[in-house]
Amino acid sequence: MQNKDIKEVVSSYYTKKHNEHGNSHWGVDWNSTESQEHRFLQLSKILPLDAEFSLMDYGCGYGALWPYLKNRGYQMSKFTGFDISTEMAASAKNLYGADKKTDWVSEMTNINFDFLIASGVFNVKLDSENADWHQYIIETINEFNNIVSKGFSFNILTSYSDEEYRKDYLYYADPLLFFDYCKKHFSKNVALLHDYDLYEFTILVRK
């Protein structure tokens, strides 16, 4: 399956979830608000607390990362929420508005950011073959690397997940493989976080 086809299928999946559950953790296919924010905690470790920065939220959903960061004192000179689902991006814009510092888009026009965060965008493979989905992830994180100047973070469900809890439509990745890829291709400063109580891992790439 080509990347264009993968994105169309995934967009339809999340649009359907949003239409069913609205602006909630269910609407972006998370089990709870608590787990959603626990992911944000890990991913935001890439960001500085003592300096201003621009940020892309890749796969922004209904925009929950924006108030999470804002309420914790992060200084964002520009925040852009991107989602391949136009309904998701529109919903985030309706919730949080848009101005000179905040924008919500379903097409990427500005490709120059200090940092990028991607939460949950690599989990739901649906009917894609594992090999196709793996290649889709590799191409996407290369895209991340090309549009940021300081760093990016992303998470994926872990291959260390218990067999009895796995689902066929989800993708479970080898964390060591992606750590190795990021070290070899993007930066010597890469962190693998796998010490929190969710069936996933987070990778931080500092450039």
Domains annotated for the chain, with CATH where assigned, are 3-206 (3.40.50.150)
The Cα–Cα gap between 97 and 103 comes to: 8
Query: Is the full-model pTM beyond 0.75?
Result: yes
Report CA 97 to chain centroid distance, whole Å. Answer: 21
User: What is the maximal distance between C-alpha atoms in the chain?
Assistant: 48
pLDDT tens digits, residue range 36-49?
A: 899 999 999 999 99
Q: What tens digit of pLDDT does each residue of 133-189 get?
A: 999 999 999 999 999 999 999 999 999 999 998 999 999 999 999 999 999 999 999
The single-letter code of the amino acid at 7 is K
Q: What is the DSSP letter of 27?
A: G
Least confident stretch, 14-18, 70-74, 89-93, 98-102: 14-18
